[in-house]
Amino acid sequence: MSEQNIYILGIESSCDDTAAAVIHNGKILSNVIANQKIHEAYGGVVPELASRAHQQNIVPVVSQALTKANITKNQLHAIAFTRGPGLMGSLLVGTSFAKSLAYGLNIPLVDVNHMQAHILAHFIDEEGFNKPPFPFIGMTISGGHTQIVKVSSFFDMEVIGETIDDAVGEAFDKSGKILGLGYPAGPIIDKLAKLGNPKKFQFTKPKVDGLNFSFSGLKTAILYFIQTETKANPNFIEENLNDICASIQYTIIEILIDKLKLATKKTGIKHIAIGGGVSANSGIRQALKDGEHKFGWTTYVPKFEFTTDNAAMIAIVGYLKFLDNTFANQSVTASARLKI
């Protein structure tokens, strides 16, 4: 078997997206995601419903990934799957499916840490996207995670900062809920913020030592602010929505950029690679780019479809671990709190 001709199936089911992707060497041939719309009605992910939807979606999603890649399951060299962290009921579906498929096909199984995968998504071969050189700082920002990681090599990663309460995406989503916006609110706030004045309202930034984050205080500050203002003027939100969104987004960006500045200072590393759904935010992208001139760092943002939860990032880790001969055996179990 030539190293130049390896097909790996990646399976991701850690939260509310059922995803499967096929990678051929380092290049993605298919990247299929079934989003679970059902959670929108609840304003957040309902674990029990997520698990049930994964069971319904997993077979069609995997089969579509193989069809789109134009291969059959018999051409696969390994099955990679998300072992954790995530929701146990969701992880169990992908884990059990991957184990059964690998067993049935008699091919190796590769367990993947979802947080490592968000970072290693940068190593997918994709035209127009540069891969960060080691060592670099990885920052994963999404609805479930906020982490700063020192990445010394593919499998040598150290978490140097993380949130002690809410994730940054939750800060967007919960603020949006207070303002009566839809779910997820991040993209809506991003859009409205473009039309508003980011300095109109000030919110106190949390004081958290070192490289850790806290976002729950900001959410409470926004809630009290809105309650006070709407008491005085019931139309306060609609009259100021763009400015409120711009000011919230501005505060969140400042929090993230402050920590990145500290991370580059502490580590001496100037390459920054971001991932996770919140990295789609136009204000954050702009602030990172501005930082290239202001602070002398270089930033890397993967293709959008590889930043949100997806299976292509699981497949690339599967490929890298395959080359490294690191496999799981059939006794592997899902781990909701798996650490990097």
Positions in the binding site for Zn ion (CB under 5 A): 142, 309
Which of 48-56, 65-73, 137-145, 229-237 is the region at the interface with ligand KG4 (rule: CB under 6 A)? 137-145
66 or 116, CB closer to ligand KG4? 116
State yes or no: residue 166 binds ligand KG4 (CB under 6 A).
no
9 or 115, CB closer to Zn ion? 115
Binding partner selected for residue 186 from ligand KG4, Zn ion, none, CB under the kind-specific 5 to 8 Å limit: ligand KG4
What's the rounded Cα separation, in Å, for the pair 78 and 73? 10
What's the rounded Cα separation, in Å, for the pair 126 and 105? 29
Answer for which of 53, 79, 272, 278 binds ligand KG4 (CB under 6 A) is 278
Nearest to 339 by CA among 10, 141, 81, 83: 83
State yes or no: residue 86 binds ligand KG4 (CB under 6 A).
no
Answer for which of 276, 291, 302, 318 binds ligand KG4 (CB under 6 A) is 276
| Cβ at position 281, least distance to ligand KG4 in Å | 3
Answer for which of 89, 138, 169, 291 binds ligand KG4 (CB under 6 A) is 169
Which of 184-192, 213-221, 315-323, 326-334 is the region at the interface with ligand KG4 (rule: CB under 6 A)? 184-192
Strand 136-141 and strand 146-153: the pairing is antiparallel
Residues sharing a CB contact under 8 Å with residue 299, sequence separation 6 or more, in sequence order: 272, 273, 274, 288, 289, 291, 292
The two tokens of residue 77 are 């060299």
**Does residue 241 sit in helix, strand or coil?**
helix
- Cβ neighbours, 10 Å, residue 37: 9
State yes or no: residue 308 binds ligand KG4 (CB under 6 A).
yes
109 or 246, CB closer to ligand KG4? 246
| Cβ at position 151, least distance to Zn ion in Å | 16
Nearest to 82 by CA among 31, 116, 35: 116
State yes or no: residue 257 binds ligand KG4 (CB under 6 A).
no
Residue 55 near residue 83, CB atoms below 8 Å: no
State yes or no: residue 186 binds ligand KG4 (CB under 6 A).
yes
Residue 141 near residue 126, CB atoms below 8 Å: no
Q: How many residues does the chain have?
A: 340
Q: Where are the alpha helices (DSSP H) in the chain?
A: 47-69, 88-105, 114-120, 168-178, 186-193, 216-232, 236-267, 282-294, 312-323
Which of 59-67, 73-81, 91-99, 186-194 is the region at the interface with ligand KG4 (rule: CB under 6 A)? 186-194
146 or 264, CB closer to ligand KG4? 146
Phi, psi of 58, deg, nearest 5: -60, -45
111 or 309, CB closer to Zn ion? 309
**Does residue 261 sit in helix, strand or coil?**
helix
State yes or no: residue 143 binds ligand KG4 (CB under 6 A).
yes
13 or 240, CB closer to Zn ion? 13
The burial class, CB within 10 Å (0-12 / 13-18 / 19+), for 1 is exposed
State yes or no: residue 173 binds ligand KG4 (CB under 6 A).
yes
Which of 49-57, 138-146, 199-207, 261-269 is the region at the interface with ligand KG4 (rule: CB under 6 A)? 138-146
Nearest to 189 by CA among 308, 280, 299: 280
Which positions from 187 to 226 touch ligand KG4 by CB under 6 A, shown as an x/- string?
x--x------------------------------------
| Cβ at position 144, least distance to ligand KG4 in Å | 4
| Cβ at position 303, least distance to Zn ion in Å | 16
Binding region for ligand KG4 (CB under 6 A): 15, 142-144, 169, 172-173, 184-187, 190, 276-278, 280-281, 308-309
